[in-house]
Structures are given as structure tokens and as C-alpha cells.
Structure 1
């Protein structure tokens, strides 16, 4: 299975601003989908929960 990607808006808690980023979609133990990316400004890890398919 190919890795899914998500391109969209993430909120960076370090910059306290929203940024556009591309990240991979992962499914946690409870089945919740989340996109994980890196802030283009400061390099902090970003997470965004996504709706189920």
C-alpha cells in the first residue's frame, strides 16, 4: 500500500501561526487518522487530525 499524503493547513504551536505543509497520513491504535508534517518556518513537528474516510 502506498503512503497517503495530506497537503493543507497545520497550526504550529511554536510559531503560533498557521502554515501550509505536506505530510504523511498515519493511523493510530484507535483507528484515528492524523497527518504528520514539519513546520516550514521553524522545523517543529506538526500534527493534524483528519476525518475518517
Structure 2
């Protein structure tokens, strides 16, 4: 499921909206995608993942 997120492109030095997918690493959720202008990989840290266990 691809959603739109706002992130910072290091190569363009601009904040841009990108479409990405959510992945989880070390209990942190992160949106990963590519910059629509230059094609560089972009990431956006979303916060801690909620654990279903007590």
C-alpha cells in the first residue's frame, strides 16, 4: 500500500512529497520511497511501532 509522505531530499535540498511504503526496523516505522524529481532514495521516520503484545 503506497501512501504519500513529505520528506527532505538531500540531493535536491528541498522538501518534497513522495510515494512510499512503510517498513519497520528496530521498532521504528519508516516510510521509504524515491524523489519524484531526481530519483534519489528518500526516507521519513514516522515514530515507534505499536506492539500488539501486553
- Output the CA distance in 2 between the equivalents of 1:51 and 1:32: 6
Ranges in structure 2 where 5+ consecutive residues have no aligned partner: none
Q: What is the TM-score with the length of structure 1 in the denominator?
A: 0.80
Q: How many residues align?
A: 49
- Consecutive aligned runs of 4 or more in structure 1 exceeding 4 Å deviation: none
Structure with higher Rg: it is 2
Equivalent of residue 31 in structure 1, options 4, 24, 27: 27
Ranges in structure 1 where 5+ consecutive residues have no aligned partner: none
Q: What is the TM-score with the length of structure 2 in the denominator?
A: 0.79
Kept after mapping to 1: 8 A contact 2:5/2:31: no
